[in-house]
Structure 1
Amino acid sequence: MPLFSIIIPVYNVQNYLSACVKSVVEQPGPRDWECILVDDGSTDQSGAMCDALAAELPGLQVIHRENGGLAAARNTGLKAATGDWLLFLDSDDAMAPGLLAQLRGALAAHPDCDWFIGKHLEWQPDGTLTPHDGLHLVPGPFASSDYAARLKALYTAGHWSVWKYCIRRSFLEQARVRFLPDCVWAEDWPFDLELLLHCDRLYFLDTVFTHYRVGRQGSLLTDAKNLPKRFRGLAAAQRRLARLSANGTADAAAYAAMQDAAADVFWPQARTAAVRDAAIRKACLPYIEQLRPLYPHGTEVRTRRDWRLFQWMMQTFGPRFTLWAASLQRK
């Protein structure tokens, strides 16, 4: 049984896939890992590249599936994983050199921990690597029975990015937490919020896990046409959180913290949806309406006057008028 299972969802990344896989196979140390490439119905040469790479490089296996999105692809990888520990890597990013060697030492030194969190560097278009502003990781263990305190510690250090996590597979299996297939954008954060219900102890490592490529055109993060998909994913996540509250998995205090975290994802996107393109606004509206339970919530929205005004308008006049009015301020 391998020590690590490295799960890499693959979709139309023919220009980046080789560098991603290379960053894994060139990790120093024993070949105590498996790397699972999940081709999510790619329409370029990515699927064929996966097969070619697996034929040449030991430790790689390939799963081809119909396109279902990043969350579904990660779940497919989880189902196939056999390693003691799980790592996630996006196929346009790279594993930091020496990561597995550092993790071997950390896991052996802290056998009572199930969830390790590290850092990342932003991989700029010019090839330079820069720290991410706004995150503050304090190395060492963090234990608390207070869900909100655990959430604050996690998001202060790492925000929602599973490619900075190393998770014990048996713990994840026991928690029975998976990625939400209907969450087609930012699928990390509902996974984080639910898994955190099952883990009172986190361990933060002063270790770079990932070189995260920024500014890739056409991604869900950079293309305004993908805004409706973002809100559809947010609505799916909100429904899941509401079920966790309704069935008692999340108590009132935990659910309140979850709502604030969800709203912190929602409000920047809601403001972004105030675009001049009326067709995009119209496509977003049904999902933004479904997200009304989040309108009173959020921590970041309380820190800026313009955001508070936008929140008040959403609560008072509704999203249709608010997005239209805010769009008039756009150039």
Structure 2
Amino acid sequence: MTTFSKKALLTLSALTLAMGTSFGALAESVKSVAVTAIVEHPALDSARDGVLDALNEAGYSEGKNLKWQYQSAQGNTGTAAQIARKFIGDQADAIVTIGTPSAQAAVAGTKRIPIVFTAVTDPVQGQLTPSWEASGTNVTGVSDVLELGKQMELVKQVVPEAKRIGIVYNPGEANSVAVVEALKEILPQYDLTLVEAAAPRSVDVGSAARSLVGKVDVIYTNTDNNVVSAYEALVKVGNDMQIPLIASDTDSVKRGAIAALGVNYHDLGLQTGRIVVRILEGEKPGDIKPQTSENIQLFINLAAAEKQGVTLSEELIESATEVIR
């Protein structure tokens, strides 16, 4: 009886050890990716979906070997900080930040957990990385920066007689301020002057646009998150007052802008997700230099052009990636 008990005990111990090792290995094989966005709108949502698609392509699947979390700050920087603290406390394997304010909140909260930003115009201006080279820190990512010269060439193609260009932006968003300052420098080359209208909150976008009526010949919008999240308010002013709207976010064309020369945000998300995969598989974020997108597309909305009093050239229409009629 005693011998049997010892054998049974040894067998049970071995089984327990094996099961514990098995469960431990299973737990280690599940990777946690936490995604935070400053606000929800079509472009940022496409970037988020692209990240998940890239993870799926690499063999990471929710409910199997991937724990996926997503939260939006709904445009509130205080909420963005709370979300960042939660994800840091959860000890995620990687935190993906969509938009500059969400990235800034996460970077301020941890120097250890890998942070991969996306849909950030200028990570250096936003103080996310010290330069465009590999940072040596826990931060890397993909920028949606656009060449402003090409943007202004598009403005001139759509509204050749334009002299005064308006911009609605959030003065509290570092990347938007950087775009405004860059525009002031290059606009004289295109015989254009800039008229600014501040929209610190999404609810301010409509009134900011109305303040430009009678002062501008065209309104240009960058990828400012407040503006893009409330783009319909801008479209109403453009349509009612026949002020042409030109965007840098192609999804805004589907919502009522005449034209946009911008990145494909789903592709941007795919590019970001592939960086996340590299990190999950052992690379250090500080060894990966920030990237930009080379997939620039021209979208045109003919119905919006008619409503806003613009006739587009056949040459411009034929050069578009997508034409919305």
TM-score, reference length from structure 1: 0.27
Query: Max radius of gyration: which structure?
Result: 2
